[in-house]
Amino acid sequence: DVVMTQSPLSLPVTLGQPASISCRSSQSLVYSDGNTYLNWFQQRPGQSPRRLIYKVSNRDSGVPDRFSGSGSGTDFTLKISRVEAEDVGVYYCMQGMYWPSFGQGTRLEIK
Amino acid sequence: EVQLVESGGGLVQPGGSLRLSCAASGFTFSNYWMHWVRQAPGKGLVWVSRINTDGSTTDYADSVKGRFTISRDNAKNTFFLQMNSLRAEDTAVYYCARDAPGGLVDYWGQGTLVTVSS
């Protein structure tokens, strides 16, 4: 099974400051078609998860451009350029290479 | 607009059964694999099961294999999770989700809470 490891697990951030979350997979997520399938989700308190980023770096419709994804192979990063109050929640990376699996989640809070 | 609406959650005793449903709208349901993902109280997301477009292929997490059964009714744009031999550790919010390229998911329902307790 592919294990997804996120860090940090808790991320206190001052409003307006940047934030970065790392996600590492135990195996390469490069598929036979040459694409890398790695998604990022945001789960606000009391809500369902919402996809932010697909295929490593593609923002979903309606996602603010302060969110960006990057990485390759086994190492991936979600960055928020300037944190806003509405960004509070838990962020998860997800892979679907074999059996789908998620990272443990990173809880972002305002300092 | 893609919509997924779960139902069927509730309180059940250990060893009991429950059937969850997920009603889909806003997309051509029969063209998509579908998934169930769960989240225990205060915990992270855990993938549970998936089903292919015509129901002929199903996959399960080891923790539910042999106890849970996923199925679908394309005529009714609905898929299901039959949960038998429920355990306390199955207590969670169960989300249905639509498949996305790469074995991932994109859209999620609002979730339905399953509580296994005596």
Mean pLDDT, all residues of chain A = 96
Residues linked to residue A51 through DSSP beta bridges, in sequence order: A41
Instruction: Return phi, psi of residue A87, to 5°.
Output: -85, -5
pLDDT band at A1 (very low <50, low <70, confident <90, very high): confident
pLDDT band at B27 (very low <50, low <70, confident <90, very high): very high
Å between A98 CA and nearest CA of chain B: 8
The verdict on a CB contact (< 8 Å) between A31 and B59 is no
Mean pLDDT, all residues of chain B = 97
Q: How far apart (Å, rounded) are the C-alpha atoms in residues B87 and A26?
A: 30
How high is the pLDDT of residue B23? 98
The verdict on a CB contact (< 8 Å) between A48 and B95 is yes
What's B44-93 look like in SS3?
CEEEEEEECCCCCCEEECCCCCCCEEEEEEHHHCEEEEEECCCCHHHCEE
Nearest CA in chain A to B103: A96
How high is the pLDDT of residue A42? 98
How high is the pLDDT of residue B102? 84
Cβ neighbours of B104 in A, within 8 Å: 37, 39, 54, 94-96, 100
Other CB atoms within 10 Å distance of the CB of residue B85 = 13
The answer to whether residue A87 scores a pLDDT higher than 90 is yes
